[in-house]
Amino acid sequence: MKEVFELVGIVSYGTYIPRYRIKAEDIARIWGENADVIKGGLGVLEKSVPDLDEDTATISVEAAREAVRRAGINPKNIGAIFVGSESHPYAVKPTATIVGEALDVGNDFFAADLEFACKAGTAGIQNCMAMVEAGMIKYGLAIGSDTSQGAPGDPLEYSAAAGGAAFLVGNDGVIAEIEHTCSFTSDTPDFWRREGRPYPSHGGRFTGQPAYFRHVVSAAKMLMEETGLKPEDFNYAVFHQPNGKFPVRAARMLGFSKEQIEQGLVVRYVGNTYSGSSLLGFAAILDVAKPGDRILLVSFGSGAGSDAFSITVTDAIENLNRNPGVWDKISKKVYIDYGTYAKFRRKIRMR
């Protein structure tokens, strides 16, 4: 018998990673850095690079189409679309409407672009949850997607990558129930990009302790306190991945094991996909998760805040086609050199 009341949760998901990669070595050579030191320090070996015809809108559409296709739902039943990104193609003019049109959602839907550095995607999930719970919509689509930029020579250049993930949120046919979510938010200027500027700036080592670690750890602790859950109650954990080091340290600080975070630790091979970062890791976990598995998801957005989620996988996940998975997409790649990368990212231009 079907339950009268199902918890709101993830109905389906889709991901997109551009095919191009650049290795840390190729960037280090240009700037006279030692690649081994960089790779050791950042824990990022290579990163994804969008093609000239790819941007946050195209990545969002491709990820969203996969989510909708896997769910087999009528796109007209999507009542809200939130696209979280810090690289929306337009400063003014929504990405969400482009996604809605490309999905043939119709005109009867709520839509907004969100920006909260790297956590706008999870903020979108929270918005969708609230609207589903309030009965305002049947399904909501939350997307975290970015084609992030690092200034030439900036350490960010080794990690700033492109990719995205889309989550269909609802309370019908849920593959992973969201048991609880909470956020830890403060005004902490660790990383920013001023209006009209092409590249972000950051506080260097200030982005660590007072920003990333304080917010991620606080949000995770808050969630565990509010739910009474302990690290050992989770089969998997995934934290925002600005580099390969921070999420590993955050896990250790919170008492999570390497085994719990390994499946979702995608940053080493795709880089930091910003709004897509923790969500791509989360999707990689869903790719292999079994009914009953519990997952901790903690995002982080500079400026600053963290959204924490406790999510339990349902039996319905067995019926969802989860191929190709995130790690399959990570392994499909074409390497490019720095010159091509600079052209693709429009760091060099043709007159």
Instruction: Tell me the C-alpha distance between 40 and 154, whole Å.
Output: 17
* x-or-dash string of contact with another protein, 155-184, rule CB under 8 A: ------------------------------
Residue 93 or 290: which CB sits closer to another protein? 93
Q: For another protein, which residue of 13, 27, 44, 54 counts as binding (CB under 8 A)?
A: 54
Rounded to the nearest whole angstrom, what is the least distance from the CB of residue 64 to another protein in the complex?
9
Is the CA virtual torsion 152, 194, 99, 68 positive or negative?
A: positive
- CA angle (123 as vertex; 41, 294 as ends), nearest 5: 75
Angle, helices 277-288/120-133, rounded to nearest 10 degrees: 60
* x-or-dash string of contact with another protein, 119-158, rule CB under 8 A: ----------------------------------------
Beta-bridge partners for 144: 84, 165
| Residue 66 annotated as catalytic | no
In 3D, which of 147, 79, 136 has the Cα closest to residue 112? 79
Instruction: Tell me the C-alpha distance between 283 and 290, whole Å.
Output: 13
Rounded to the nearest whole angstrom, what is the least distance from the CB of residue 102 to another protein in the complex?
4
- Reported residue count of the chain is 351
- Could you give the C-alpha distances from 21 to 24, 269, 329, in angstroms and in order? 10, 9, 12
Region near another protein per CB under 8 A, out of 53-61, 222-230, 240-248, 305-313: 53-61
Rounded to the nearest whole angstrom, what is the least distance from the CB of residue 257 to another protein in the complex?
36
Active-site residue among 88, 202, 215, 240? 240
* x-or-dash string of contact with another protein, 74-113, rule CB under 8 A: ---------------xx-------x--xxxx---------
**At residue 195, what are phi and psi to the nearest 5 degrees?**
-50, 130
* x-or-dash string of contact with another protein, 311-340, rule CB under 8 A: ---------------------x-x------
Instruction: Tell me the C-alpha distance between 122 and 59, whole Å.
Output: 17
Q: For another protein, which residue of 10, 61, 120, 250 counts as binding (CB under 8 A)?
A: 61
Other beta carbons less than 10 A from residue 37's beta carbon: 11
Rounded to the nearest whole angstrom, what is the least distance from the CB of residue 67 to another protein in the complex?
14
Active-site residue among 118, 128, 157, 202? 118
Number of residues that bind another protein (CB under 8 A): 21
DSSP string for residues in 30-68: HHT--HHHHHHHH---EEEE--TT--HHHHHHHHHHHHH
- CA angle (327 as vertex; 324, 331 as ends), nearest 5: 95
Rounded to the nearest whole angstrom, what is the least distance from the CB of residue 58 to another protein in the complex?
5
- Catalytic residue numbers read 86, 118, 240
Task: Please report, as ranges, the residues that interact with another protein according to CB under 8 A.
Answer: 51-55, 57-58, 61-62, 65, 89-90, 98, 101-104, 332, 334, 343, 350
